[in-house]
Amino acid sequence: MAIAIVIPGRDVRSLKKRLEELLPGEEILVYPEDVKHPKEVEVAIVWNHSADLWERLPYLKLVCSFGAGVDHLIFDKGLPPNVRVTRIVDSQLTVGMRKYVCMAVLNLHKNLFHYYELQQKRRWGRLKEAEIDIRPGVLGLGVLGADIAYHLHVLGFEVYGYSRRPKKIEGVHCLSEKEDQWEKFLSSINALICVLPLTPDTYGILNEQLFNKMPDGSYLINVGRGHQLIEADLIRAIKSGKIKGAFLDVFSTEPLPYEHAFWDIPEIIITPHIASLTDPDNAARQIAANYLKFKEGEELENVVDLGLGY
């Protein structure tokens, strides 16, 4: 049995070396160059794969996403129905996301954009209101969202959270689809933090209809996936003042094209999908452990429910 690393365009030498240390005696192959006998490859570590992967590695039984998200797999119609999919759940990834979102919320809260603008003009100008009353709402209370919500509460914010099923998180008003609390969630907050997985249900969820359910002058922070946002709706909402500003880390096309309208909108802060990055060492340890379990026929960690899509 062999493991293939299918992460095109990235230097995977250190990941391969780490896996070889963790799994002595196992064959770790960089796809496609090292794969001479596809029949041996039953496990693959995948990120940004090309559509022909499944016909080129037809004996795959386990696919390990090299990130927390698995939309690159579940939206691939070619994904064989019999493969199992796992994803990365890692404390470093969680902490990284927590820091990014807290940074964004604190920037809004403390009016940093205003002061930065004044700085360009060498002006010392205090605002009448020293702080903006940010009421954050975390959309998606999974591994990342629950941690963000809790830590925003620790920072002193009145935090709301929303998920499909009811949740309990210390200090957080947890609302859910199950309890039909969508409207209540959106009307209670003025900064929406999207940390949802991309699924058929969440595709395009950040749209005009949703913005209109939030108070005027709200903010958006999107760290989920670009296809969750209808980009033209955001531009319109910013023009009308419905949305006052946005932090966007993910986009429907990445890298964001040079000619994209977002670049010229001062109310939008763009970061290049860096909110939190998979740590190759932690990922290697997790994947190696799952590989050994898979070989022994034991229960795997962080298995994706392909029915739900996350």
Q: What angle do CA 281, 284, 285 make, to 5 degrees?
A: 90
Query: Residue length, the chain?
Result: 310
Q: How far is the CB of 71 from ligand OXD (least distance, A)?
A: 8
- 67 or 145: whose CB is closer to ligand OXD? 67
Phi, then psi, of 279 in degrees rounded to 5? -85, 115
Which of 136, 140, 226, 245 contacts ligand NDP by CB under 6 A? 140
Sites for ligand NDP among residues 38-77 (CB under 6 A)? 68-69
Contact partner at residue 84 from ligand NDP, ligand OXD, none, CB < 5 to 8 Å by partner kind: none
Q: Is 171 left (phi over 0), alpha (psi -120 to 50) or beta?
A: left
Please tell me which residue in 151, 225, 227, 236 is annotated as part of the active site: 225
Give 301's DSSP letter.
S
Q: Is 122 left (phi over 0), alpha (psi -120 to 50) or beta?
A: left
Q: How far is the CB of 205 from ligand NDP (least distance, A)?
A: 7
Q: Kindly tell me the sign of the dihedral angle through the C-alpha atoms of 237, 130, 271, 154.
A: negative
Contact partner at residue 193 from ligand OXD, ligand NDP, none, CB < 5 to 8 Å by partner kind: none
Q: Please count the residues of this chain forming the interface with ligand NDP, following the rule CB under 6 A.
A: 31
Contact partner at residue 64 from ligand OXD, ligand NDP, none, CB < 5 to 8 Å by partner kind: none
Phi, then psi, of 212 in degrees rounded to 5? -70, -15
| Structural contact between residues 101 and 284, judged by C-beta atoms closer than 8 angstroms | no
| Burial (Cβ within 10 Å: 0-12, 13-18, ≥19) of residue 99 | middle
Contact partner at residue 181 from ligand NDP, ligand OXD, none, CB < 5 to 8 Å by partner kind: none
Q: Specify whether 225 is catalytic.
A: yes
Q: Report if residue 73 touches ligand OXD, rule: CB under 6 A.
A: no
Sites for ligand NDP among residues 205-224 (CB under 6 A)? 223-224
Which of 67, 137, 145, 161 contacts ligand OXD by CB under 6 A? 67
Q: Which residue has tokens 């809260």? A: 109
Q: Specify whether 273 is catalytic.
A: yes
Q: Cα separation of 23 and 288, whole Å?
A: 7
Tokens of 84: 């199992």
Q: Report if residue 250 touches ligand NDP, rule: CB under 6 A.
A: yes
Which of 163, 278, 286, 290 contacts ligand OXD by CB under 6 A? 278
Catalytic residues: 225, 273
Residue ranges in contact with ligand NDP by CB under 6 A: 68-69, 93, 97, 140-145, 162-165, 177, 195-199, 201-202, 223-225, 249-250, 273, 275-276, 310
